[in-house]
């Protein structure tokens, strides 16, 4: 049986996991590829293995604002389990990698057969709701520097590497700020020896210090996930 390498799939009993994976195909996650757009039908569900996907809210032609992120810890397209087959957000590949892709109809059929999958999806919906709410308050109340540190930690967690790609322009869109704000905040983290950042490539040098520099939202997100899905 192929190794799932996705946390939600790894939590399934072996027989249920094997049955689900038999309906999946392994696909590449290509950097900056749009997997689905807001308002479009959700034709596939993705279980990332490597790489990660940004969930972007779009409004009035402005660049998308990141309100969530999906990596190995979760699933993209989970709303089909609620009977809603329309994407609420744009899903943009932020970190290249691989994922298991499954047709939505096959996913719903498997969901009906597996109580464990149903329970885990219910908990995942709760965790995502809690994280989305926290993102909103973080954007309003926390300073750019701590928010950038949090975002870098979230990206490193899902990249499973100290190095990952992130341009100034992309970071500005993700954080909802101007590029100059990214330059200033990233410059502070570099001078303090926490990261290096050159030509769109980030390298985390001091993970512990970066965690200390991040806003409280990072630890809160980790805590709620560990409590319900850890």
Residue 44 has pLDDT above 50, yes or no: yes
106 and 82 assigned to the same domain? yes
74 and 16 assigned to the same domain? yes
What's the full length of the chain, in residues?
230
Number of domains in the chain: 2
CA dihedral (214, 225, 91, 143) in degrees, to 10, reads -20
Residue 125 has pLDDT above 90, yes or no: yes
CATH code, 190: 1.10.10.10
Q: Are 16 and 116 in contact (CB under 8 A)?
A: yes
Q: Is residue 229 part of a domain?
A: no
Q: Is residue 228 part of a domain?
A: no
44 and 101 assigned to the same domain? yes
55 and 166 assigned to the same domain? no
pLDDT at 1: 40
Report the alpha-carbon distance of residue 115 to residue 121 in Å, rounded.
Answer: 10
53 and 120 assigned to the same domain? yes
Q: Is residue 138 part of a domain?
A: no
Q: Is residue 84 part of a domain?
A: yes
How does pLDDT run across 167-221, given as a tens digit for each residue? 888 888 878 888 899 999 999 999 999 999 988 899 999 999 999 999 999 999 9
Domain containing residue 148: 143-214
How does pLDDT run across 84-112, given as a tens digit for each residue? 999 999 999 999 999 999 999 999 999 99
Q: Is residue 56 part of a domain?
A: yes
- If DSSP codes are grouped into helix, strand and coil, which group holds residue 205? coil
């Amino acid at each position: 049986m192929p190794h799932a390498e996705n946390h939600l799939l790894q939590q399934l009993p072996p027989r249920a996991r094997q049955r689900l994976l038999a309906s999946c195909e392994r696909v590449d996650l290509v950097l900056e590829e749009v997997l689905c757009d807001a308002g479009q039908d959700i034709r596939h569900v993705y279980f990332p293995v490597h790489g990660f996907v940004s969930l972007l809210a779009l409004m009035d032609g402005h660049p998308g604002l990141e309100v969530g992120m999906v990596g190995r810890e979760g699933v993209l397209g989970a709303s089909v389990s609620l009977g809603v087959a329309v994407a609420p957000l744009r899903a943009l590949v932020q970190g290249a990698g691989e994922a298991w892709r499954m047709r939505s109809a096959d996913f719903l059929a498997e969901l009906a057969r597996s109580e464990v999958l149903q329970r885990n999806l219910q908990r995942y919906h709760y965790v995502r709701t809690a994280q989305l709410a926290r993102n909103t308050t973080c954007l309003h109340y926390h300073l750019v520097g701590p928010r950038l540190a949090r975002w870098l930690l979230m990206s490193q967690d899902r990249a499973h590497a100290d190095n990952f790609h992130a341009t100034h322009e992309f970071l500005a869109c993700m954080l909802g700020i101007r590029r100059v704000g990214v330059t200033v905040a990233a410059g502070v983290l570099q001078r303090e020896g926490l990261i290096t950042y050159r030509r769109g490539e980030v390298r985390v040098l001091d993970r512990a210090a970066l965690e200390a520099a991040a806003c409280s939202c990072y630890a809160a997100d980790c805590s709620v996930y560990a409590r319900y899905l850890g």
